Amino acid sequence: MTPSTSPYEGTLALLHTSPVHIPVFEALRDEAHPGLGLRHLVAPDLLDRAREEGPAAVADDVRRLLGEAAAAGAGAVLCTCSTIGAVAERTAVGVSVLRVDRPMAAAAVAAGSRVMVLATVESTLGPTVALVREEAAGRAVEVRTLLVEGAWDRFLAGDAEGYVRAVAEAADTVTDADVIVLAQASMAPAQQLTTATVPVLSSPRPGLAAAAAAAAATAALGSTRAGRPPAAGGRPAPPGPATG
């Protein structure tokens, strides 16, 4: 697919719980959505508290951060943390709020009825399983989980290579599944290392694509209200030459 080069892609805010996600999403933006402006919000404490007290414990802080992003002009907001994704998605701030793993979950249930969810943080398992079942929309689906023991300690220690290798090795052990879901955005590079014989899905690329579309829709709406009709494909046309 040819990337869009429209200057009216809009602005997207991303809520991260680790700064390691910033270069990942910047690279994906440059590759597929070069007109999209990104604003990164990093709040590691949200994941720490959600792991200890449950995702609902951070709802007020998530609402504040997302509200600030919307007020600053973001056309949409993408939460890249699977543990708090459901909390973010339910937050009303006047613009679309998306969770990065929903498109991945939809692809998983389309791939088969036996889904294996891999995670390196236990608090991610429950929300991801719930999301997969939600996307199944009542269809029969068997969802199993596997926690990659010790991998998160490597992540916290800065051993990115060891972290990704541990995830890939865990994926390689999976049997009796139609598809493997890498529950956290940080696990995505394991797709390139695993030798699993079934599809292995990760969230950053499809999640960013969905959020980019939401931001573009907001930008198109704003341009139309400002008097610039949308161009073909739903994006606003560039302004005409300056006069006067």
* Secondary structure (3-state) at 177: coil
Q: What are the tens digits of pLDDT across the range 114-137?
A: 999 999 999 999 999 999 999 999
Mean pLDDT of 188-215: 97
Threshold 0.75, pTM exceeds? yes
Model confidence at 105, pLDDT cuts 50, 70, 90, reads very high
pLDDT at 1: 35
Residue predicted with more confidence, 188 or 236: 188
Structure tokens at 84: 């708090």
Residue given tokens 């692809």 in the structure block = 107
Q: Which residues contact 211 (CB under 8 A, 6 or more apart)?
A: 12, 14, 76, 77, 78, 96, 98, 100
Residues forming a β-bridge with 234: none
- Cβ(130)–Cβ(165) under 8 Å? no
* Average pLDDT, integer, range 194-222: 93
User: Which whole number is the average pLDDT over 19-43?
Assistant: 95
Helix (H, G, I), strand (E, B), or coil: what is residue 157?
coil
Asked whether residue 209 carries a pLDDT value surpassing 60, the answer given is yes
**Residue 92, number of CB atoms within 10 A of its CB:** 10
Of the chain, the percentage scoring pLDDT greater than 70 comes to 87
Extract the runs of DSSP E, i.e. beta strands, from the chain: 11-16, 37-42, 76-79, 96-99, 114-119, 142-147, 179-182, 200-201
Q: Cα 193 from chain centroid?
A: 21
- Write out the two tokens for 72: 């600053």
Amino acid at 190: A
Give yes or no for residue 191 having a pLDDT over 80. Answer: yes
- Sign of the C-alpha dihedral computed for residues 204, 154, 190 and 32 taken in this order: positive
